[in-house]
Chain A
Amino acid sequence: MKWGNFLATAFIILIIILLQWPKMKQKPKKEKSAFIVLLLIGLFLSMFDLPYIGGPAKWIEYVFNPFGEILEK
Protein backbone atom coordinates (compact mmCIF):
# COMPACT_ATOMS: atom_id res chain seq x y z
CA MET A 1 0.00 0.00 0.00
CA LYS A 2 1.32 3.40 -0.97
CA TRP A 3 0.05 6.09 1.37
CA GLY A 4 0.96 8.93 -0.98
CA ASN A 5 -1.30 7.65 -3.76
CA PHE A 6 -4.11 6.89 -1.35
CA LEU A 7 -4.01 10.27 0.37
CA ALA A 8 -3.75 12.14 -2.94
CA THR A 9 -6.76 10.26 -4.33
CA ALA A 10 -8.69 10.88 -1.10
CA PHE A 11 -7.89 14.58 -1.37
CA ILE A 12 -9.05 14.75 -5.01
CA ILE A 13 -12.24 12.87 -4.13
CA LEU A 14 -12.88 15.33 -1.31
CA ILE A 15 -12.56 18.25 -3.75
CA ILE A 16 -14.87 16.53 -6.24
CA ILE A 17 -17.52 15.98 -3.55
CA LEU A 18 -17.23 19.55 -2.30
CA LEU A 19 -17.69 20.96 -5.80
CA GLN A 20 -20.25 18.55 -7.21
CA TRP A 21 -22.48 17.75 -4.22
CA PRO A 22 -24.23 21.16 -3.99
CA LYS A 23 -25.33 20.75 -7.64
CA MET A 24 -26.75 17.30 -6.95
CA LYS A 25 -29.03 18.12 -4.01
CA GLN A 26 -32.25 17.87 -6.01
CA LYS A 27 -31.22 14.79 -7.96
CA PRO A 28 -32.83 11.38 -7.27
CA LYS A 29 -31.27 9.10 -4.68
CA LYS A 30 -30.09 6.63 -7.32
CA GLU A 31 -27.91 9.23 -8.97
CA LYS A 32 -26.31 10.24 -5.68
CA SER A 33 -25.58 6.66 -4.69
CA ALA A 34 -24.03 5.85 -8.10
CA PHE A 35 -21.82 8.93 -7.73
CA ILE A 36 -20.66 7.92 -4.24
CA VAL A 37 -20.18 4.22 -5.09
CA LEU A 38 -18.02 5.03 -8.14
CA LEU A 39 -15.90 7.39 -6.02
CA LEU A 40 -15.49 4.66 -3.39
CA ILE A 41 -14.36 2.19 -6.08
CA GLY A 42 -11.75 4.75 -7.13
CA LEU A 43 -10.63 5.18 -3.52
CA PHE A 44 -10.49 1.42 -3.02
CA LEU A 45 -8.32 0.89 -6.13
CA SER A 46 -5.93 3.63 -5.03
CA MET A 47 -4.95 1.53 -1.99
CA PHE A 48 -3.09 -0.99 -4.18
CA ASP A 49 0.25 -0.65 -5.89
CA LEU A 50 -1.60 -0.80 -9.20
CA PRO A 51 1.13 -1.23 -11.84
CA TYR A 52 2.54 -4.33 -10.16
CA ILE A 53 -0.57 -6.34 -9.30
CA GLY A 54 -2.59 -8.55 -11.65
CA GLY A 55 -5.27 -6.65 -13.52
CA PRO A 56 -7.39 -6.34 -16.64
CA ALA A 57 -4.46 -6.03 -19.06
CA LYS A 58 -2.92 -9.24 -17.68
CA TRP A 59 -6.23 -11.14 -17.75
CA ILE A 60 -6.91 -10.13 -21.32
CA GLU A 61 -3.40 -11.05 -22.43
CA TYR A 62 -3.95 -14.45 -20.83
CA VAL A 63 -7.31 -14.99 -22.58
CA PHE A 64 -6.13 -13.92 -26.04
CA ASN A 65 -2.66 -15.47 -25.78
CA PRO A 66 -3.39 -18.31 -28.27
CA PHE A 67 -4.32 -15.81 -31.01
CA GLY A 68 -1.20 -13.78 -30.36
CA GLU A 69 0.90 -16.93 -30.75
CA ILE A 70 -0.63 -17.66 -34.15
CA LEU A 71 0.48 -14.17 -35.22
CA GLU A 72 4.04 -14.70 -33.96
CA LYS A 73 4.61 -17.75 -36.21
Chain B
Amino acid sequence: MKTVKISSLQMAMLMYPTIVATAILSVPNLTATYANQDLWISPIFASIIGFLTVFISVRLHKLYPEKTVIQFSEQIIGRIPGKILGLAFLFFYIQSTGGITRSYAEFIVSSFLFQTPIIVVIVSMVLLCAFAVYGGLEVLGRITQVLFPLFFVPLFLLIILLSPEYEFSNIFPILERGLLPPIKGAVVPGGWFSEFFITIFLLPFLADKKKGSKYGILTVFAVMITLVVVNLIVLFILGNTTSSKTYPLMNISRYISIADFFENLESVTMAIWILGTFVKISVFFYVVVLGTAQWLNIEDYRPLVWPIGILIVEFSFWAVPSSMAFIHYEITAFPFYSVTIQTIIPLFLLGIAFFRNKNRNRNKKKETNSVYK
Protein backbone atom coordinates (compact mmCIF):
# COMPACT_ATOMS: atom_id res chain seq x y z
CA MET B 1 0.00 0.00 0.00
CA LYS B 2 2.91 2.33 0.64
CA THR B 3 4.19 2.07 -2.90
CA VAL B 4 1.08 3.81 -4.28
CA LYS B 5 2.20 6.90 -6.16
CA ILE B 6 0.42 9.39 -8.36
CA SER B 7 1.86 12.43 -10.10
CA SER B 8 0.86 15.93 -9.06
CA LEU B 9 -0.70 16.46 -12.50
CA GLN B 10 -2.94 13.48 -11.79
CA MET B 11 -3.84 15.05 -8.46
CA ALA B 12 -4.83 18.25 -10.25
CA MET B 13 -6.86 16.22 -12.75
CA LEU B 14 -8.58 14.43 -9.88
CA MET B 15 -9.36 17.63 -8.01
CA TYR B 16 -10.66 19.67 -10.97
CA PRO B 17 -13.68 17.46 -11.79
CA THR B 18 -14.17 16.86 -8.07
CA ILE B 19 -15.02 20.53 -7.59
CA VAL B 20 -16.29 21.56 -11.02
CA ALA B 21 -18.57 18.61 -11.87
CA THR B 22 -21.34 19.40 -9.45
CA ALA B 23 -20.55 23.10 -9.24
CA ILE B 24 -21.18 24.01 -12.90
CA LEU B 25 -24.64 22.52 -12.85
CA SER B 26 -26.32 23.76 -9.71
CA VAL B 27 -24.14 26.63 -8.48
CA PRO B 28 -25.14 29.24 -11.12
CA ASN B 29 -28.71 28.92 -9.88
CA LEU B 30 -27.81 29.02 -6.18
CA THR B 31 -25.50 32.00 -6.70
CA ALA B 32 -27.97 33.90 -8.86
CA THR B 33 -30.57 33.71 -6.09
CA TYR B 34 -28.44 36.16 -4.09
CA ALA B 35 -26.22 37.92 -6.58
CA ASN B 36 -28.59 38.32 -9.59
CA GLN B 37 -26.62 39.69 -12.56
CA ASP B 38 -23.39 39.81 -10.53
CA LEU B 39 -23.25 36.02 -10.22
CA TRP B 40 -19.99 35.86 -12.17
CA ILE B 41 -18.15 37.85 -9.46
CA SER B 42 -19.06 35.40 -6.69
CA PRO B 43 -16.65 32.58 -7.66
CA ILE B 44 -13.75 35.04 -7.41
CA PHE B 45 -14.63 35.78 -3.79
CA ALA B 46 -15.34 32.11 -3.12
CA SER B 47 -11.96 31.08 -4.51
CA ILE B 48 -10.30 32.88 -1.57
CA ILE B 49 -11.57 30.00 0.57
CA GLY B 50 -10.09 27.58 -1.96
CA PHE B 51 -6.64 29.21 -1.87
CA LEU B 52 -6.75 29.33 1.93
CA THR B 53 -7.72 25.65 2.13
CA VAL B 54 -4.95 24.56 -0.23
CA PHE B 55 -2.46 26.66 1.75
CA ILE B 56 -3.58 25.03 5.02
CA SER B 57 -3.43 21.49 3.66
CA VAL B 58 0.00 22.02 2.07
CA ARG B 59 1.32 23.49 5.33
CA LEU B 60 -0.10 20.63 7.39
CA HIS B 61 1.35 18.20 4.89
CA LYS B 62 4.82 19.75 5.31
CA LEU B 63 4.62 19.28 9.08
CA TYR B 64 3.47 15.65 8.78
CA PRO B 65 4.70 14.48 5.36
CA GLU B 66 3.68 10.82 5.36
CA LYS B 67 0.30 11.14 7.05
CA THR B 68 -3.26 12.15 6.34
CA VAL B 69 -5.43 14.31 8.58
CA ILE B 70 -7.01 11.28 10.27
CA GLN B 71 -3.56 10.19 11.50
CA PHE B 72 -1.88 13.47 12.40
CA SER B 73 -4.87 15.00 14.22
CA GLU B 74 -4.15 12.36 16.90
CA GLN B 75 -0.59 13.67 17.17
CA ILE B 76 -1.67 17.30 17.25
CA ILE B 77 -4.48 17.30 19.80
CA GLY B 78 -3.99 13.98 21.57
CA ARG B 79 -5.27 10.48 21.10
CA ILE B 80 -8.92 10.62 22.21
CA PRO B 81 -9.79 14.12 20.86
CA GLY B 82 -7.96 13.18 17.67
CA LYS B 83 -10.10 10.07 17.26
CA ILE B 84 -13.26 12.12 17.82
CA LEU B 85 -12.14 14.70 15.27
CA GLY B 86 -11.29 11.90 12.83
CA LEU B 87 -14.79 10.52 13.27
CA ALA B 88 -16.21 13.98 12.53
CA PHE B 89 -14.18 14.13 9.30
CA LEU B 90 -15.30 10.63 8.29
CA PHE B 91 -18.90 11.46 9.07
CA PHE B 92 -18.67 14.61 6.99
CA TYR B 93 -17.14 12.85 4.02
CA ILE B 94 -19.49 9.87 4.05
CA GLN B 95 -22.46 12.19 4.29
CA SER B 96 -21.14 14.41 1.49
CA THR B 97 -20.66 11.35 -0.70
CA GLY B 98 -24.26 10.40 -0.03
CA GLY B 99 -25.34 13.94 -0.85
CA ILE B 100 -23.39 14.05 -4.12
CA THR B 101 -24.80 10.68 -5.16
CA ARG B 102 -28.29 11.88 -4.36
CA SER B 103 -27.95 15.13 -6.31
CA TYR B 104 -26.51 13.19 -9.26
CA ALA B 105 -29.43 10.77 -9.20
CA GLU B 106 -32.03 13.52 -8.78
CA PHE B 107 -30.62 15.25 -11.83
CA ILE B 108 -30.64 12.10 -13.97
CA VAL B 109 -34.14 11.12 -12.87
CA SER B 110 -35.63 14.59 -13.31
CA SER B 111 -34.01 15.32 -16.70
CA PHE B 112 -33.50 12.07 -18.56
CA LEU B 113 -34.58 8.75 -17.06
CA PHE B 114 -38.07 9.70 -15.97
CA GLN B 115 -39.33 6.15 -15.49
CA THR B 116 -36.32 4.72 -13.67
CA PRO B 117 -36.52 4.32 -9.88
CA ILE B 118 -33.92 6.55 -8.25
CA ILE B 119 -32.39 3.66 -6.30
CA VAL B 120 -31.29 2.00 -9.56
CA VAL B 121 -29.40 5.12 -10.65
CA ILE B 122 -27.76 5.48 -7.23
CA VAL B 123 -26.77 1.83 -6.80
CA SER B 124 -25.33 1.48 -10.31
CA MET B 125 -23.17 4.60 -9.83
CA VAL B 126 -21.97 3.58 -6.36
CA LEU B 127 -21.14 0.08 -7.63
CA LEU B 128 -19.09 1.52 -10.50
CA CYS B 129 -17.24 3.86 -8.13
CA ALA B 130 -16.68 0.99 -5.71
CA PHE B 131 -14.83 -0.94 -8.43
CA ALA B 132 -12.70 2.12 -9.18
CA VAL B 133 -11.89 2.69 -5.51
CA TYR B 134 -11.14 -1.01 -5.01
CA GLY B 135 -8.49 -0.62 -7.70
CA GLY B 136 -6.74 2.00 -5.60
CA LEU B 137 -5.48 5.53 -6.01
CA GLU B 138 -3.23 4.76 -8.97
CA VAL B 139 -6.20 3.39 -10.88
CA LEU B 140 -8.20 6.50 -10.02
CA GLY B 141 -5.35 8.68 -11.22
CA ARG B 142 -5.14 6.89 -14.56
CA ILE B 143 -8.92 6.84 -15.02
CA THR B 144 -9.07 10.58 -14.54
CA GLN B 145 -6.17 11.08 -16.93
CA VAL B 146 -8.18 9.30 -19.60
CA LEU B 147 -11.47 10.98 -18.73
CA PHE B 148 -10.19 14.52 -18.20
CA PRO B 149 -10.10 15.53 -21.91
CA LEU B 150 -13.56 14.03 -22.34
CA PHE B 151 -14.68 16.20 -19.47
CA PHE B 152 -12.92 19.40 -20.45
CA VAL B 153 -13.24 19.52 -24.26
CA PRO B 154 -17.07 19.25 -24.47
CA LEU B 155 -17.32 22.01 -21.87
CA PHE B 156 -15.12 24.16 -24.06
CA LEU B 157 -17.13 23.25 -27.19
CA LEU B 158 -20.34 24.17 -25.40
CA ILE B 159 -18.99 27.66 -24.75
CA ILE B 160 -18.07 28.13 -28.43
CA LEU B 161 -21.24 26.61 -29.89
CA LEU B 162 -23.39 28.81 -27.69
CA SER B 163 -21.66 32.02 -28.72
CA PRO B 164 -24.28 33.14 -31.32
CA GLU B 165 -26.86 33.29 -28.54
CA TYR B 166 -24.93 35.60 -26.24
CA GLU B 167 -26.64 38.79 -25.13
CA PHE B 168 -23.72 40.70 -23.63
CA SER B 169 -25.82 43.53 -22.26
CA ASN B 170 -27.23 41.12 -19.63
CA ILE B 171 -24.13 41.76 -17.56
CA PHE B 172 -25.17 45.36 -16.80
CA PRO B 173 -25.62 46.98 -14.36
CA ILE B 174 -22.48 45.69 -12.68
CA LEU B 175 -22.56 45.87 -8.87
CA GLU B 176 -25.96 47.54 -8.90
CA ARG B 177 -26.46 47.13 -5.16
CA GLY B 178 -22.86 47.19 -3.98
CA LEU B 179 -20.57 44.31 -3.07
CA LEU B 180 -22.88 42.58 -0.59
CA PRO B 181 -25.01 40.52 -3.04
CA PRO B 182 -22.00 38.87 -4.79
CA ILE B 183 -20.42 38.18 -1.39
CA LYS B 184 -23.64 36.50 -0.23
CA GLY B 185 -23.67 34.58 -3.49
CA ALA B 186 -20.10 33.48 -2.82
CA VAL B 187 -21.12 31.57 0.33
CA VAL B 188 -22.55 28.58 -1.54
CA PRO B 189 -19.64 28.09 -4.01
CA GLY B 190 -17.37 28.67 -1.00
CA GLY B 191 -18.63 25.36 0.32
CA TRP B 192 -17.46 23.75 -2.92
CA PHE B 193 -14.04 25.45 -2.86
CA SER B 194 -13.60 24.19 0.67
CA GLU B 195 -13.57 20.65 -0.73
CA PHE B 196 -9.98 21.32 -1.80
CA PHE B 197 -9.10 20.03 1.65
CA ILE B 198 -9.29 16.58 0.01
CA THR B 199 -5.79 17.29 -1.31
CA ILE B 200 -4.56 16.40 2.19
CA PHE B 201 -5.57 12.79 1.46
CA LEU B 202 -3.72 12.82 -1.87
CA LEU B 203 -0.53 14.74 -1.03
CA PRO B 204 1.14 11.88 0.91
CA PHE B 205 0.95 9.73 -2.24
CA LEU B 206 2.54 12.18 -4.63
CA ALA B 207 5.62 11.03 -6.50
CA ASP B 208 6.82 14.63 -7.00
CA LYS B 209 6.02 16.32 -3.72
CA LYS B 210 7.59 19.66 -4.53
CA LYS B 211 5.07 20.37 -7.26
CA GLY B 212 2.12 19.52 -4.99
CA SER B 213 1.41 23.03 -3.79
CA LYS B 214 1.95 24.56 -7.22
CA TYR B 215 -0.56 22.24 -8.84
CA GLY B 216 -2.97 22.71 -5.93
CA ILE B 217 -2.99 26.49 -6.40
CA LEU B 218 -3.23 26.03 -10.16
CA THR B 219 -6.29 23.81 -9.75
CA VAL B 220 -8.05 26.37 -7.54
CA PHE B 221 -7.32 28.99 -10.19
CA ALA B 222 -8.61 26.76 -13.01
CA VAL B 223 -11.79 25.99 -11.07
CA MET B 224 -12.32 29.69 -10.41
CA ILE B 225 -11.91 30.59 -14.10
CA THR B 226 -14.24 27.77 -15.14
CA LEU B 227 -16.94 28.85 -12.71
CA VAL B 228 -16.63 32.50 -13.77
CA VAL B 229 -16.91 31.55 -17.45
CA VAL B 230 -19.83 29.18 -16.89
CA ASN B 231 -21.66 31.76 -14.80
CA LEU B 232 -21.01 34.37 -17.49
CA ILE B 233 -22.39 32.27 -20.35
CA VAL B 234 -25.41 31.34 -18.26
CA LEU B 235 -25.92 35.05 -17.56
CA PHE B 236 -25.42 36.04 -21.20
CA ILE B 237 -28.14 33.65 -22.30
CA LEU B 238 -30.65 33.47 -19.47
CA GLY B 239 -30.21 36.94 -17.99
CA ASN B 240 -32.42 37.63 -15.00
CA THR B 241 -34.21 34.30 -15.21
CA THR B 242 -31.11 32.34 -14.12
CA SER B 243 -32.29 32.04 -10.54
CA SER B 244 -35.55 30.35 -11.60
CA LYS B 245 -33.82 27.41 -13.36
CA THR B 246 -32.62 24.51 -11.25
CA TYR B 247 -29.96 23.41 -13.74
CA PRO B 248 -29.12 26.53 -15.84
CA LEU B 249 -26.34 24.86 -17.83
CA MET B 250 -28.83 22.19 -18.92
CA ASN B 251 -31.29 24.85 -20.05
CA ILE B 252 -28.77 26.81 -22.06
CA SER B 253 -27.37 23.74 -23.82
CA ARG B 254 -30.85 23.30 -25.31
CA TYR B 255 -30.35 26.64 -27.07
CA ILE B 256 -27.66 25.25 -29.36
CA SER B 257 -28.83 24.92 -32.94
CA ILE B 258 -26.22 25.20 -35.67
CA ALA B 259 -26.94 24.20 -39.27
CA ASP B 260 -29.72 21.87 -38.06
CA PHE B 261 -26.95 19.47 -37.18
CA PHE B 262 -25.77 20.36 -33.68
CA GLU B 263 -28.99 20.08 -31.75
CA ASN B 264 -30.23 18.58 -28.51
CA LEU B 265 -26.80 18.90 -27.01
CA GLU B 266 -28.19 18.65 -23.47
CA SER B 267 -27.11 15.04 -23.68
CA VAL B 268 -23.53 16.37 -23.91
CA THR B 269 -24.08 18.27 -20.69
CA MET B 270 -25.38 15.10 -19.13
CA ALA B 271 -22.30 13.22 -20.32
CA ILE B 272 -19.97 15.84 -18.82
CA TRP B 273 -21.91 15.74 -15.60
CA ILE B 274 -21.86 11.93 -15.36
CA LEU B 275 -18.11 11.78 -16.09
CA GLY B 276 -17.40 14.49 -13.55
CA THR B 277 -19.61 13.03 -10.85
CA PHE B 278 -18.07 9.63 -11.40
CA VAL B 279 -14.63 11.12 -10.62
CA LYS B 280 -16.08 13.18 -7.78
CA ILE B 281 -17.91 10.30 -6.08
CA SER B 282 -14.87 8.04 -6.54
CA VAL B 283 -12.54 10.58 -4.91
CA PHE B 284 -14.89 11.14 -1.97
CA PHE B 285 -15.50 7.39 -1.70
CA TYR B 286 -11.73 6.80 -1.67
CA VAL B 287 -11.27 9.42 1.04
CA VAL B 288 -13.96 7.80 3.20
CA VAL B 289 -12.55 4.29 2.76
CA LEU B 290 -8.92 5.31 3.29
CA GLY B 291 -9.89 7.48 6.26
CA THR B 292 -11.90 4.68 7.87
CA ALA B 293 -9.02 2.24 7.45
CA GLN B 294 -6.58 4.73 8.99
CA TRP B 295 -8.98 5.59 11.77
CA LEU B 296 -9.18 1.90 12.69
CA ASN B 297 -5.44 1.36 12.07
CA ILE B 298 -6.12 -1.19 9.35
CA GLU B 299 -3.42 -1.96 6.80
CA ASP B 300 -5.55 -2.87 3.77
CA TYR B 301 -8.55 -0.64 3.06
CA ARG B 302 -9.95 -2.63 0.16
CA PRO B 303 -12.37 -4.97 1.98
CA LEU B 304 -13.99 -1.88 3.55
CA VAL B 305 -15.04 -0.60 0.12
CA TRP B 306 -18.18 -2.77 0.00
CA PRO B 307 -19.70 -2.07 3.43
CA ILE B 308 -19.00 1.63 3.02
CA GLY B 309 -20.67 1.52 -0.40
CA ILE B 310 -23.83 0.29 1.30
CA LEU B 311 -23.53 3.06 3.89
CA ILE B 312 -23.14 5.69 1.14
CA VAL B 313 -26.35 4.51 -0.55
CA GLU B 314 -28.13 4.70 2.80
CA PHE B 315 -26.74 8.14 3.62
CA SER B 316 -27.99 9.41 0.27
CA PHE B 317 -31.55 8.75 1.42
CA TRP B 318 -31.23 9.41 5.13
CA ALA B 319 -33.41 12.36 6.23
CA VAL B 320 -33.77 13.62 2.65
CA PRO B 321 -37.38 12.93 1.65
CA SER B 322 -37.45 14.97 -1.59
CA SER B 323 -35.24 16.91 -3.98
CA MET B 324 -36.68 20.16 -2.57
CA ALA B 325 -35.50 19.19 0.91
CA PHE B 326 -32.09 18.39 -0.52
CA ILE B 327 -31.74 21.76 -2.27
CA HIS B 328 -32.80 23.49 0.96
CA TYR B 329 -30.08 21.58 2.81
CA GLU B 330 -27.55 22.42 0.11
CA ILE B 331 -28.21 26.17 0.46
CA THR B 332 -28.81 26.67 4.16
CA ALA B 333 -26.55 24.11 5.79
CA PHE B 334 -23.98 22.55 3.47
CA PRO B 335 -21.78 25.63 2.75
CA PHE B 336 -21.33 26.40 6.45
CA TYR B 337 -20.88 22.76 7.40
CA SER B 338 -18.32 22.25 4.64
CA VAL B 339 -16.29 25.36 5.46
CA THR B 340 -16.35 24.59 9.19
CA ILE B 341 -15.10 21.02 8.77
CA GLN B 342 -12.71 21.54 5.87
CA THR B 343 -11.27 25.01 6.40
CA ILE B 344 -11.82 26.32 9.94
CA ILE B 345 -11.02 23.13 11.88
CA PRO B 346 -7.85 22.45 9.81
CA LEU B 347 -6.84 26.09 10.39
CA PHE B 348 -7.03 25.48 14.15
CA LEU B 349 -5.12 22.20 13.74
CA LEU B 350 -2.41 24.05 11.82
CA GLY B 351 -2.25 26.75 14.51
CA ILE B 352 -1.88 24.21 17.33
CA ALA B 353 0.68 22.16 15.39
CA PHE B 354 2.67 25.32 14.61
CA PHE B 355 2.91 26.41 18.26
CA ARG B 356 3.67 22.89 19.44
CA ASN B 357 6.54 22.58 16.99
CA LYS B 358 7.83 26.02 17.97
CA ASN B 359 7.88 25.04 21.65
CA ARG B 360 9.59 21.76 20.85
CA ASN B 361 12.28 23.53 18.84
CA ARG B 362 12.84 26.03 21.66
CA ASN B 363 13.18 23.19 24.17
CA LYS B 364 15.67 21.50 21.89
CA LYS B 365 17.68 24.70 21.63
CA LYS B 366 17.68 25.04 25.42
CA GLU B 367 18.98 21.50 25.76
CA THR B 368 21.77 22.05 23.27
CA ASN B 369 22.68 25.35 24.93
CA SER B 370 22.87 23.71 28.35
CA VAL B 371 25.19 21.06 26.91
CA TYR B 372 27.60 23.72 25.72
CA LYS B 373 27.54 25.50 29.08
**Which one, A20, A30, A35, A57, contacts B319 given CB within 8 A?**
A57
Q: How many residues of A contact B (CB 8 A)?
A: 36
On whether A41 and B311 interact (CB within 8 A), knowing A50-B317, A57-B320, the answer reads: yes
The interface stretch among B2-10, B58-66, B71-79, B293-301 is B293-301
Which chain B residues (278-305) contact chain A, with CB distance < 8 Å?
A: 292, 296-300, 303-304
Complex CA distance for A55 and B211, rounded to whole angstroms: 41
| A9 (CB) vs chain B CBs: closest residue | B310
On whether A30 and B310 interact (CB within 8 A), knowing A51-B320, A57-B329, the answer reads: no
Report if A34 contacts B (CB, 8 A).
yes
**Which one, A13, A55, A61, A64, contacts B310 given CB within 8 A?**
A13
Q: Are B318 and A56 in contact (CB under 8 A)?
A: yes
Bin the interface of chain B by size: 35 or more
Complex CA distance for A24 and B331, rounded to whole angstroms: 43
Q: Are A42 and B311 in contact (CB under 8 A)?
A: yes
Q: Are B311 and A45 in contact (CB under 8 A)?
A: yes
Q: Are B319 and A51 in contact (CB under 8 A)?
A: yes
A27–chain B nearest beta-carbon distance, Å: 7
Chain A residues with a Cβ under 8 A of chain B: 9, 12-13, 16, 20, 23-24, 27-28, 30-31, 34-35, 38-39, 41-42, 45-46, 50-58, 60-61, 63-65, 67-68, 71
5 A-B contacts, Cβ less than 8 Å apart? A24-B303, A34-B292, A56-B319, A64-B333, A64-B340
